[in-house]
Chain A
């Protein structure tokens, strides 16, 4: 530090005056208390949205797991039911003959056009 100080030895009184104007509290008790106040405010910050989020993470994970399980069960049941219906429909004979059952679907315009083209 190459800076020249304002006051020489004759101005000690002025320097001490300045020091007393700007003196920091000297007791350890004061600094301990200030530290405690600072750390209390820091703790308030810690209880902000991160902590709030952290607090909700476990219930959220549990709820998500329950939801996932319920969805899985529902999907499994739906799948089972679909399979049962398919099996039942295979084992049950159709109420009408196949040709009768199919024929009405061949009577639309498109089919008529195809017949007309191939029939010529």
Chain B
């Protein structure tokens, strides 16, 4: 009996419970309760980081984009309709913050370092040959192809979600993914035979 009560008490919240809880947090945050907004940050910051990291080139830029994104979200919170999925809305803001940051970096790099090619990925170990080559192969993709393949194949977003985040049609996201995969296959073909 005790065990049954324990199981009943500690059961995982259902998706609808989680949605209702999130909605309550959003409404409270809209009323200006900063604790509620902090709870939303806590819930979403890892996924938000993953979205930003897929778009920007470095961990540091992803951190900046996450902070910018949450700030934008906070300022725009009163325009958000609580019945909509908060995550989808937030990740679109994160993607926009990341794309803005990428654009700013490009302008800055074009102004300041015209002859240098930036090392796009942080790779502290660099001991693994496959990782090194993979890193190199990813630099051969366009920014958008790289974002699409990471958001889709690593983070599990659908073509539609990626399209909404990056501001491109779903079909374009699909075709970017196709081309990114083909390019990666081609670039990594001899890596496997070398290893």
Residues of chain A with a CB closer than 8 A to B66's CB:
34, 38
Q: A5-B153, A18-B154, A24-B53 are in contact. Are A45 and B131 (CB under 8 A)?
A: no
The distance in angstroms between the C-alpha atoms of A38 and B184, with both chains bound, is 36
Write the chain B residue with the least CB distance to A48. Answer: B75
Return chain B residues, CB-CB under 8 Å to A6: 149, 153, 181, 184-185
Is the pair B74, A45 in contact by a Cβ cutoff of 8 Å? yes
| CA of A22 to CA of B150, assembled, Å | 8
Contact A17 to B131, CB < 8 A, known contacts A6-B181, A24-B46, A42-B37: yes
**Given that A7-B153, A22-B150, A37-B67 are contacting pairs, would A31 and B46 also be in contact in the complex, using a CB cutoff of 8 Å?**
yes
Query: From DSSP, what is the main secondary structure of chain B's interface residues?
Result: helix
Q: Is the interface on chain A under 10, 10 to 19, 20 to 34, or 35 or more residues?
A: 20 to 34
> A17 — which chain B residues lie within 8 A by C-beta?
128, 130-131, 134
Interchain CB contact (< 8 A) of A22 among B50, B156, B158, B181: B50
Beta-carbon contact of B158 and A19 below 8 Å: no
Given contacts A14-B130, A18-B134, contact A42 B121 (CB under 8 A): no
Q: Quote the shortest CB–CB distance from B181 to chain A (angstroms).
A: 5
Interface residues of B (CB under 8 A from A): 34, 37-38, 41-42, 45-46, 49-50, 53-54, 59, 63, 66-67, 70-71, 74-75, 121, 123, 128, 130-131, 134-135, 138, 149-150, 152-154, 156, 158-159, 177, 181, 184-185, 188
